[in-house]
Amino acid sequence: MTPLDKPWFLPTSETTQDYLTEDTASKNCTVDLDDDETDKQSDIYTSEEEPEQSRGVSAAGMDEWRIMLLGRRGVGKSSSGNTILGQQVFPVNKTLSRVTQVCDRREGTLDRRPVAVIDTPGLKNSSGDEKKVIRDILKSLSFYKPGPHVFLVVLPIGNLTKDDIQVHRIIENMFGKRVWRYTILLFTNGDTLEGIAPSDAISSADKELRDLIRKCTGGFVVFDNKDMANRTQMTLLKEKIVNLMAINGNKWYPREYYPWSEKKIRERHEKHMEERSEDIAEKERQVERLYSGDELEDKKRELWRMVDEELRLLAENPPRFKNLRKNEPVQRYVNAP
């Protein structure tokens, strides 16, 4: 029996209660969140006070940048992640089926700067699992704790569609209104410009697109994912990130910027993670003793997903698990009445 077979881990999210409201599945994809609501009694610390995770420091001693890719299905998030890292690490295909089913994290360098790129499932799709996708992105705390430094919102170059506009509304509802302060727009299909300067293409675009660009503090970049060898576009992206991070005090997106209900869940999630840190570390050591190479990294990512699923469940349903003791397995409680 491997560590991943042990009953400490929870089953899939179908057994959990979704904290999102039914409005999320509606046409407007609205989450029951209030960005202006605050809890004066909560012990909320800012990103300046929150310690960096050990996984966030590279072997060279440089703090890595955590870059989260967001957007609807099929816009080229995974391909853009591969272009950023300069290698094929995220699976891609040319069909309309979703390739990225869960959040994934891969590490590498961006123009010699250590980075962690977090790929996410596509938002706004017709498969009816929108709420599950949103929850999976929000719950995957281990992949980007304590927070992303930059959100790259990916969309094909051209005028905005209705789906694009709804995806941007979903992103704002997930992360809060201030998400755009940490956002750079990443336009794919740069090869279709055929010599036209990106700035000229944008200036002739519709008002909705130009308004979105003005909303994003980091501006925009254009990628040609068919030309991964062109590192000039990576240099430009790095310059954009450097400027954006300077504006934001070189800090990641803080917990207090999330909408109120999500912020409270994240507080509890982080608390449970801290309480179980020794147990989680031991499980990771067990995995390291059993696997090596790429298989080890895959097993670690699987471990982090299972940990996040369990701790998210606890954070979403605190009254239900109020009698749960520290480090006690919760699987026995999942089907409790």
Read off the pLDDT of each residue in 101-122 and give the average, rounded to a whole number: 92
Q: Strands 113-119 and 104-110: what pairing?
A: antiparallel
The domain in which residue 98 lies consists of 54-247
In a domain? residue 188: yes
Name the CA dihedral angle for 145, 315, 305, 175, rounded to a multiple of 10 degrees. Answer: -50
Q: How high is the pLDDT of residue 126? A: 56
CA-closest candidate to residue 218, choices 152, 147, 144, 148: 152
Q: Whole-angstrom Cα distance, residue 158 to residue 156?
A: 6
CA contacts within 13 A on the Cβ side of 28: 8
> 67-107, pLDDT tens digit by residue?
999 999 889 999 999 999 999 999 887 655 556 688 999 99
Asked if pLDDT for residue 66 goes beyond 90, the answer is yes
Those residues with Cβ within 8 angstroms of residue 305's Cβ, 6 or more apart along the chain or in another chain: 102, 103, 140, 142
Those residues with Cβ within 8 angstroms of residue 205's Cβ, 6 or more apart along the chain or in another chain: 158, 159
Read off the pLDDT of each residue in 112-141 and give the average, rounded to a whole number: 86
> 262-284, pLDDT tens digit by residue?
999 999 999 999 999 999 999 99
Asked if pLDDT for residue 22 goes beyond 80, the answer is no
Asked if pLDDT for residue 198 goes beyond 50, the answer is yes
In a domain? residue 299: no
Q: How high is the pLDDT of residue 97? A: 52
Q: How high is the pLDDT of residue 311? A: 93
In a domain? residue 326: no
Q: Whole-angstrom Cα distance, residue 30 to residue 24?
A: 5
In a domain? residue 94: yes
Number of domains in the chain: 1
In a domain? residue 241: yes
In a domain? residue 271: no
Q: How high is the pLDDT of residue 94? A: 61
In a domain? residue 301: no
Do 145 and 277 form a contact (C-beta atoms < 8 A)? no
In a domain? residue 27: no
Which CATH number characterizes residue 191's domain?
Answer: 3.40.50.300
